[in-house]
């Protein structure tokens, strides 16, 4: 289904079209308000957004007066007469406009009119998310590989333990977005990332209750000394994030200049988080090259992480175990 949006300037067309596209709808803006072709809109059946001149001037400084707006309405008369949905957006937030339009679309498709749930795939398609994740790397890798891996692990932790599928999807979304705050600063990136994720998810039309779960999880994954699981999604995110230790994360190309973090990460040849629902045990299995880094180095660096993992596993009703080179250490 193609969705064409027409309306007067400042009525919210661009914001609506961007949000609809991010949600996977084929949405287009038809600039009928500027066209002398009266039926340009007819290329696609339109939704019509309207607002008053007072609202227009409140939304942004417009370089034209009310007469210009009346002229736009005149050009739009035909489109309005034939539109599937007419909305006065005065007093409406962008989220309320989006919700009203999506409800109408879903009803037209024969559904119940409910907003379809926001998925990880929809989040991945938001261009700004891709940019933030690509820009968020520092001395260890926090880019797309880490984001996707944490999303997968967080999802699998909840799915394998029998939590609801929707909760597992929220864990995947939290896992994918959890480090976007790194573009602001490594310091407090959990909290800044939570606020950034809030904006992204709200624009995608995610319900407030789900947003609260996801941003709470992102804001609680860091710092390691005080991060604490606040919900199931948060616990799954912590387990996914803190178990990602691997030589591919080392950014320093000069082995002679490795610090202890580089050395430990580089020594890890294989890592796997095993979830055993029957035993209620979550085990981090590592294969470490002890010629590069002794096991003690691992503990020196990752003790706080292991404590966080234990708290997270416990939150999900499980024990946390650590196995290095097939020797159970915790």
CB closer to Fe ion out of 62 and 301? 301
Of 179, 203, 210, 262, which lies in the binding site for Fe ion, with binding defined by CB under 5 A?
Answer: 179
Residue found by looking up tokens 């937030």 in the block: 93
Nearest approach, Cβ of 155 to Fe ion (angstroms)?
A: 15
Residue 190 · residue 178 · CB < 8 Å: yes
Residue 227 in the binding site for Fe ion (CB under 5 A) = no
268 DSSP β-pair partners: 288
Structure tokens at 282: 């979550």
> Rounded CA gap, 83 and 49, in Å?
10
Residue 213 · residue 158 · CB < 8 Å: no
Nearest approach, Cβ of 218 to Fe ion (angstroms)?
A: 9
Nearest approach, Cβ of 36 to Fe ion (angstroms)?
A: 54
Nearest approach, Cβ of 201 to Fe ion (angstroms)?
A: 18
CB closer to Fe ion out of 13 and 249? 249
Residue 262 in the binding site for Fe ion (CB under 5 A) = no
Query: What Rg do the C-alpha atoms of the chain give, in angstroms?
Result: 25
> Rounded CA gap, 71 and 61, in Å?
18
Nearest approach, Cβ of 132 to Fe ion (angstroms)?
A: 13
Residue 222 in the binding site for Fe ion (CB under 5 A) = yes
CB closer to Fe ion out of 98 and 174? 174
Beta strands in the chain (DSSP E): 2-7, 26-29, 46-50, 85-88, 268-276, 281-288, 319-324, 327-328
Nearest approach, Cβ of 123 to Fe ion (angstroms)?
A: 16
CB closer to Fe ion out of 79 and 180? 180
Choose the binding region for Fe ion from 30-38, 237-245, 253-261, 277-285 (rule: CB under 5 A): 237-245
Choose the binding region for Fe ion from 87-95, 175-183, 273-281, 292-300 (rule: CB under 5 A): 175-183
Of 50, 241, 262, 321, which lies in the binding site for Fe ion, with binding defined by CB under 5 A?
Answer: 241
Choose the binding region for Fe ion from 88-96, 117-125, 240-248, 312-320 (rule: CB under 5 A): 240-248
> Rounded CA gap, 173 and 242, in Å?
17
C-alpha pair distances (Å), 328 with each of 238, 247, 288, 289: 21, 21, 13, 16
Choose the binding region for Fe ion from 13-21, 81-89, 164-172, 221-229 (rule: CB under 5 A): 221-229
Other Cβ atoms closer than 10 A to 170: 30
321 DSSP β-pair partners: 283
CB closer to Fe ion out of 50 and 179? 179
Chain contacts with Fe ion (rule: CB under 5 A): 179, 222, 241
């Amino acid at each position: 289904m193609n969705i064409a949006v027409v309306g007067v300037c400042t009525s919210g067309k661009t914001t609506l079209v961007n949000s609809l596209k991010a949600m996977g709808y084929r949405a287009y803006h038809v600039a009928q308000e500027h066209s002398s072709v009266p039926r340009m809109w007819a290329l696609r059946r339109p939704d019509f957004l309207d607002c008053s001149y007072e609202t227009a001037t409140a939304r942004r400084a417009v370089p034209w007066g009310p007469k210009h707006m009346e002229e736009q309405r005149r050009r739009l008369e035909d489109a309005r007469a034939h539109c599937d949905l007419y909305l006065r957006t005065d007093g409406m937030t962008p989220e309320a406009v989006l919700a009203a339009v999506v409800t109408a679309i879903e009803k037209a498709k024969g559904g119940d009119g409910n907003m379809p749930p926001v998925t990880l795939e929809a989040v991945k398609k938001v261009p700004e998310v891709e940019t933030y994740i690509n820009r968020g790397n520092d001395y260890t890798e926090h880019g797309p590989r880490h984001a996707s891996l944490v999303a997968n692990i967080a999802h699998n932790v909840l799915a394998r333990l029998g939590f609801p599928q929707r909760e597992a999807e929220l864990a995947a979304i939290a896992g994918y977005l959890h480090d976007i705050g790194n573009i602001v600063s490594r310091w407090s990136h959990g909290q800044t990332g939570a606020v950034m994720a809030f904006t992204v998810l709200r624009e995608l039309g995610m319900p407030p209750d789900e947003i609260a779960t996801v941003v709470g999880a992102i804001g609680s994954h860091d710092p390691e000394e005080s991060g604490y699981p606040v919900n199931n999604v948060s616990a799954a995110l912590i387990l996914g994030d803190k178990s990602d230790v691997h030589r591919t994360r080392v950014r320093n190309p000069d082995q002679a200049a490795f610090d202890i973090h580089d050395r430990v990460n580089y020594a890890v040849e294989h890592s796997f988080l095993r979830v055993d629902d029957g035993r209620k045990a979550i085990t981090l299995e590592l294969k470490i090259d002890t010629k590069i880094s002794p096991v003690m180095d691992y503990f020196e660096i990752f003790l706080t992480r292991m404590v966080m993992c234990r708290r997270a596993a416990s939150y999900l009703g499980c024990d946390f175990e650590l196995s290095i080179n097939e020797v159970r250490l915790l």
